[in-house]
Every structure is written in C-alpha cells, then in structure tokens.
Amino acid sequence: MAQQIADRRDIDFVLHEQFKVGDFSKNEKFAEFNKKTVDLIISEARNLAVKEILPTLKEGDEQGCKFEGGKVTVPESFHRAYELFKEGEWLAMPENPEYGGQGMPRTVSMAAAEYFNGANYAFMMYPGLTHGAGKLVETFGTDKQKKLFLKKMFTGEWTGTMLLTEPNAGSDVGALETTAVPNGDGTYSITGQKIFISSGEHDLAENIVHPVLARIEGAPAGTKGISLFLVPKYRVNDDGSIGESNDVVCAGIEEKMGIHGNSTCTLNLGDKGNCIGTLLGEENKGMRAMFLMMNEARLLVGMQGYATATASYINAVNYAKERIQGRHLLKMMDKEAPGVPIIQHPDIRRQLLSMKSYIEGMRSLLYYVAYCEDLTVLSDSEEDKERYQGLIDLLIPVAKGYVTDRAFDMCNYGMQIYGGYGYIADYPQEQLMRDCRITQIYEGTNGIQAMDLLGRKLGMKKGKLVMDLMGEIMNTVNQAKGIEGLEDQAAKVEEALNKLGEVAMHMGKTAMSEKVLQAFAFAYPFMEVCGDVVLSWMLLWRATIAKEALTQAKKKDVPFYEGLIKSSEYFAYTILPTALGKMNAILTTNGAPIEIDEASFIG
C-alpha cells in the first residue's frame, strides 16, 4: 500500500476558502502569488515530497547517521534529495529573493512545509535549522556578516544550526558555561561544549554556520549576560571563500529513539584554543536575539509533530478501508455474514473521527499563525500589526506544546488501528510514532511551553493578547449562531470560551499570589484547555464555511464539506465537555503536587 503524507483537498480548503491566500496578490508585496501560482507551488512541493523525499524515510531510519573520526555521514539517499531541494529554492520560501528566497506568503510556505515534513522531517531538519539560523543573520547581522553568510545559507549551499544546550545548562540556558574572550580585532575566542545539537555535523554541505550562545568574560550572570556569536565550522575569508578549520569538533552523535536520519551531535568549541566567532547583535542581548529563532523553531516543531500525525491518519484511513476483519456489529449473530472492512466498526470510526477532527483543527491552527505573520506584512496599520503579532506570540506555545502532544496521541491511534501490524516495522506507523515523540521535548519541553503561556504570554500588555484572541473566537461564534444547524455547536464553543476566560483570570491572579507554585503546577492543564478551545474555534470556523459551500457544492465535494461539519460536531460534543471538566479542576488549584513531601516519592 503506497504511503500518503497529506490531504491536498483540505490543504486547498484552508488556503483558499478559510484564509483566501489568493487575495494576497491584490497587494503589490505578494502580487505574483495569485491562486493559480499558489496551486502550482503546492503541486511542485507535493511532487518533490512524494517522489524524492518520502523514499528516504525508511532508509534514513534504518541506516541512520554514521560517526567516524570526528566526521558524520548522513544516509546516502539524503544527498540527492538535498540537491533537488536546493535546486528548487525551497529552503527560504518566504524570504527576500535578493538573498535566495522566493518571497512567497508564509501561509503558502506552511503548506509546502507540511508536505516536506510529512515525507521525512528528520531530513527536513537540515534545511529547517538553516533557515532559522539565516534569519538571525538577516535580522541581527552586520553588513559584512550578511554578505558573507546569508545568501549561501538561504540557498542551502551552507547549512546552519542553533547551539544552546550544554551538559549543565539544558532548559536553564542561563547556567551556560561557554565563554567568549575578545581578541581586540572584533573577533572572540570561543570555548565550551554544546550537546544535543541537531544537524551539528554532517556531509550535506561544505560549511556549517553555528549561532552560539556564550558569555563574554565579566558579563552578568544568568540570561542577562548571554551574547550570541556566529561561529562557522570553517572560517570564511573576506572574499567569501572557505578558509581553515575553526576548531569546532564533533565528539560524537546520539543513538536515539527516532529521527535517526538527523545527526544529534556533541560539539566541542575551542579545545585547541582556536575557535573564532563574531558577535551577532549586541553584547548581552543574545537570548533576546535567539528567541527570534526559537519562536520560528517552535512553530516548525509543531509542524513536525503534526506532519507525522497527518501521515499516520491518512495511512490509518486507507488501512481501515482495506483491512477485512470481523462481521458487522448488526450481523454478529449471523455466522454466514461476510467479514467487513474495519472502518465499519464503531470503535474504529470513533478513533478515525477523533484523528480527523484534531488533524483538521491543528492544520488550521498552524496555518493561522503563518497567516497572522502575512497580515503583519500586508497591513498598513501599526495597531493591526501589533495585534497580529500579539496573536502569534500568544499562540506559539499552543502551536508547539499542545499540537505536538495531540500529534503523538494521533500517532498512537494510527498505530492502534493497524493492530499488531502497526507495531512492526513493515508498516510506517511505528516509525511515525517514534519520530513524533521528540517533538514534545526539544525546542523547550511542553511543560516549558505551558510555563511560557502562563508566566509570560497571559499577562502581556495587561491581558490584551488574550482579549484579542477571545474577540476573534467570538466573531466566529456569532457568525455560527446565525447558521442553521450550527447553533448548538456555537453555543458549546461559547460556553467553553467563557469558562476559559474565567480560568485565565483565576490563573493570572493565582500566579501573582502566594500560591504561585500551585498555579504553575496547573500550567500544563491550562495550556491543554487553551488548545482545546482554540481547536474548537478552528473547527467551527471551518464548519461555517462548509455550510455555505454546501448550498452550491458539486456532488463530489459534498462528502468533504459534510465531513468538516461532523468534525466540528464531534469536537464540540465529545472533547469540549472533557475540557470543561479540566477547567473545573484547574479552578481548584489543588495544592497536592506542591504539598507532597519529596520523601513520599519512591527513589
């Protein structure tokens, strides 16, 4: 059975019916990206993903990366895929063409990214991290740094990474020990060790550019004293040519549960005292700069987890339609009744509809964040730009934390529907589940995403971000109230939204009180219910469009639109009641997690 990786019909719906990206072409900034052009881009992305990248998925998992003599080789099939990816100029889709980008809307690039990551996101980590590193150079780099590095990174000739984590400074970045000593000529000598570095060493490109967090001698302790440096694997001469080795040495790669095709490296910087970097941005402002890349990376991680889930869902649907097992429930007593495809069994249908609802809602959520980014570009109003950016900031921890958690759940369903076959390597479900698992951990664990949502985002601008989001959701609720057949769904979403508002106020006050520890013990459930309400909004929004479309839909499109309405109905009647129960639990802010004595835990 051929493996599929994304639902083109639903992607088209989100792009053209929900967000109407073809209308962006009315603005000169995106004038060339009309609907026809957008459709061609997505078709080309799908062709590359299915024909060239997807075949590397299993091979990449089985071969993995090899480490010998300080050098890392990637799976052989990755080389052809990477060359084709570069030739198509896919690495910097939304960026300035002057530096090798295509200048397309980010919403469109998100759709292409779904195909690429669904095909093999372990492979896509190499260009994905490169794009993020390139954005740091573009935003904070000097003219010289941009001239030397930016185009070569955005075209994929050189790749990039992100060097934060250290043995004694994982999530607590402020505890890092890597040092930077000024050399008096504008350069710095860098010394330290970084671990868990994705794409840190490989043979796909002739140079790897590392943004490195380090502390200049005498700088303040904690995150306030961290600076960001640009440290290439090989030094770069003033004419752009590659110079001598820069004392960045891979000490080993990790053996992992999944994403075997991506090299996760330990890098030693300056063991011979000869690692030279240049300051990227201002002294002691490294964390502020790195957050630019981290926000992009967190959205990318949300897409990685989601892409594995949607591939697992499509596989599960196709398998359930073909796998004959057991008689129909209404004919269980008829021994002569033939076996039926398992999609006819109620519990399988429940699992598939759960997957469908979450997949559709998560797709719209991820694309919506990109859509808001496009609106910040297109808007002439500073107030509107600020509002859209606020929505992005608020939704990033949900798009990373909530989405990857639910994505793993969907991969679990995808394995379950295959039964025993889902657990063996002959089918893709077990690899998708293994690959998905890391998305809940890296770029800030999902517990950290929840703490970010509660501790930073909830109170930003005196709660304006939350109020703006609630206003957007109510716009959809009010529209749905006036559509026959959606009134009950709208009422349930409104009830959950009002309850969430109560919970948000409670959490904000508790986090500022003597019960701050209890509040943060409930940060994760709070993120979960925020995600549930946001997804119910996305699904209701889709249902309102589907209801209108059904009045003039072609016969072949009727099941699609009816399915969107059923997804929203299922979520409103099955998931939201559970979310309301969680909200009631949050309002108790029970102190047991904080009050229990450490000695009460085994160990």
Residues with a known catalytic role:
443
- Three-class secondary structure of residue 219 per DSSP: coil
- Taking the CA atoms of residue 515, residue 520, residue 522 and residue 526 in that order, the dihedral angle to the nearest 10 degrees is 120
Contacts of 293 (CB under 8 A, 6+ apart): 132, 133, 135, 136, 162, 211
Contacts of 28 (CB under 8 A, 6+ apart): none
Q: DSSP letters along 134-166, please?
A: HHHHHHH--HHHIIIIIHHHHTTSSEE--B--B
Report yes or no: 105 and 24 within 8 Å, Cβ to Cβ: yes
Q: What is the C-alpha to C-alpha distance for residues 61 and 63, in angstroms, rounded to an integer?
A: 6
Per-residue b or e along 164-181, where b marks 16 or more CB atoms closer than 10 Å to that residue's CB: bbbeebeeebeebebbbe
Look at strands 187-198 and 208-216 and give their pairing: unpaired
Tokens of 578: 């559970």
Per-residue b or e along 321-347, where b marks 16 or more CB atoms closer than 10 Å to that residue's CB: eebeeebeeeeeeeeeeeebbbbbbee
Report yes or no: 123 and 56 within 8 Å, Cβ to Cβ: yes
Tokens of 297: 């990376």
Report yes or no: 489 and 572 within 8 Å, Cβ to Cβ: yes
Tokens of 264: 């996760």
Q: What is the C-alpha to C-alpha distance for residues 338 and 331, in angstroms, rounded to an integer?
A: 9
Task: State the CB neighbour count (10 A cutoff) for residue 68.
Answer: 7
Contacts of 417 (CB under 8 A, 6+ apart): 316, 319, 320, 342, 348, 351, 352
Q: How many CA atoms lie within 13 A of 381 on its CB side?
A: 6
Q: How far from the centroid of its chain's Cα atoms is residue 244's Cα?
A: 36
Q: DSSP letters along 32-88, please?
A: T--HHHHHHHHHHHHHHIIIIITTHHHHHHHH--EEETTEEE--THHHHHHHHHHHT
Tokens of 175: 């505890």
- Taking the CA atoms of residue 450, residue 455, residue 456 and residue 458 in that order, the dihedral angle to the nearest 10 degrees is 80
**φ and ψ at residue 68, rounded to 5 degrees:** -145, 125
Per-residue b or e along 236-261, where b marks 16 or more CB atoms closer than 10 Å to that residue's CB: beeeeeeeeebbbbbeebbebebbbb
Report yes or no: 366 and 110 within 8 Å, Cβ to Cβ: yes
